[in-house]
Amino acid sequence: MTVSTPPTARVTINLLKNLTLREVRSEYKRTVLGRVWSLVNPLAQIAVFSIVFGLIFGMQAEPGINSGVHSFPIWIGIGVIVWGFISGSIRAGMGALMANAGLLQKVALPRWVLVLSKVLALVFTFLIELAVICVVMALVGGWQIILTLPLLLPLLLVTAAFTLGIGLMLSVATVYFRDIEHLWSIVVQVWMYASGVVFPVSLVASKQAELDAQGVTVLGMPVPLLAVFEYNPAQVLLSMYRNVLYDFAAPSMGDWLVVSLWAVAALVVGGLVFRRFSRNIVEEL
């Protein structure tokens, strides 16, 4: 046990701010395009998905409820950047301790700050991407976007809390078991397709109805295809962002409740795991 005066909130906030700035400032240093890269990447992905799923597979998105916008690329674009933030911030959070091994071995600091600063740096990038989407939607769908725009703030908060919780948990786990990093790459791939990034969940629902009609079962139960999507917090989050940005509509109270519970659960479990296991990570680094 080591008892020492804990740093004051101001010191911790300053540390958080500086570490976040370090991430933000250094990410695109010495590149010609600089911060533009953070937009080029999702744009390329949106283009690929639009061509493959929209053009070749002929997939359609429902027109936006209040916006009346009917554009598969924009619909998929929202999915790509929201998913990009969720998966990206979890990955950055889980690697935060390993990436700062040198610092952890030499300086005593509140360790969770390292994970949070990685998430916050990505929140910054995410905000820029959201701003671009907002501008595009305002041009295509009209000024009414302003009515639902404030909902983005609590939505962003819940999303970040969720990814932070998981990031905290995985960051200590990775220190003890390096395999998790590689295992996670597989999980993320599966998770992406189960989050309805590139196709609407209505497609899954119709497939589910088809399977049920054919009487296909797994262990005597109906195939839980749709359930995988419906209980997936990332899918719910994605659909909520689409509500706000694509439909200009408020997400349902049920969705708010589900994602809030997920966020709180992830934060509590992640926080507890982190507190319990982060004490002795320096010996394992």
Q: Is 98 in the site for another protein (CB under 8 A)?
A: no
Min separation Cβ 150 and another protein, Å:
30
Encoded tokens for 51? 């061509």
Q: Is 276 in the site for another protein (CB under 8 A)?
A: no
3-state secondary structure of 285: coil
Figure out which of the listed residues 37, 57, 177, 231 binds another protein, where binding follows CB under 8 A. 177
Span interacting with another protein, options 33-41, 101-109, 138-146, 223-231, rule CB under 8 A: 101-109
In whole angstroms, give the CA distance from residue 142 to residue 69: 9
Min separation Cβ 108 and another protein, Å:
4
Min separation Cβ 146 and another protein, Å:
34
In whole angstroms, give the CA distance from residue 170 to residue 274: 9
Min separation Cβ 100 and another protein, Å:
8
Query: Which CB, 210 or 284, lies closer to another protein?
Result: 284
Q: Is 139 in the site for another protein (CB under 8 A)?
A: no
**DSSP string across 218-282:** ETTEE--HHHHHHT-HHHHHHHHHHHHHTS--PPPHHHHHHHHHHHHHHHHHHHHHHHHHGGGHH
| Cβ within 8 Å of residue 18, ≥6 positions away | none
Q: Is 107 in the site for another protein (CB under 8 A)?
A: yes
Query: 35-71: b or e for each residue (b if 16 or more CB lie within 10 Å)?
Result: eeebeeebbebbeebbeebbeeeebebeebebbebeb
Figure out which of the listed residues 105, 185, 189, 217 binds another protein, where binding follows CB under 8 A. 105
Span interacting with another protein, options 34-42, 99-107, 187-195, 242-250, rule CB under 8 A: 99-107
In whole angstroms, give the CA distance from residue 119 to residue 92: 7
Min separation Cβ 87 and another protein, Å:
21
In whole angstroms, give the CA distance from residue 87 to residue 195: 11
Figure out which of the listed residues 65, 127, 183, 261 binds another protein, where binding follows CB under 8 A. 183
The backbone region for 208, taken as left when phi is positive above 0, alpha when psi lies in -120 to 50, beta otherwise, is alpha
Query: Which CB, 26 or 202, lies closer to another protein?
Result: 26
In whole angstroms, give the CA distance from residue 179 to residue 183: 6
Residue with tokens 């395999």: 179
Query: Which CB, 109 or 250, lies closer to another protein?
Result: 109
3-state secondary structure of 284: helix
Figure out which of the listed residues 46, 69, 80, 104 binds another protein, where binding follows CB under 8 A. 104
Query: Which CB, 7 or 142, lies closer to another protein?
Result: 7
Question: Which x/- pattern, by CB under 8 A, does the window 10-29 give for another protein?
Answer: xx--xx-xxx-xx--xx--x
Span interacting with another protein, options 5-13, 66-74, 152-160, 227-235, rule CB under 8 A: 5-13
Q: Is 253 in the site for another protein (CB under 8 A)?
A: no
Q: Amino acid identity of 36?
A: V
Chain residues that interact with another protein, rule: CB under 8 A: 1-5, 7, 10-11, 14-15, 17-19, 21-22, 25-26, 29-30, 100, 102-109, 176-180, 183, 279-280, 282-283
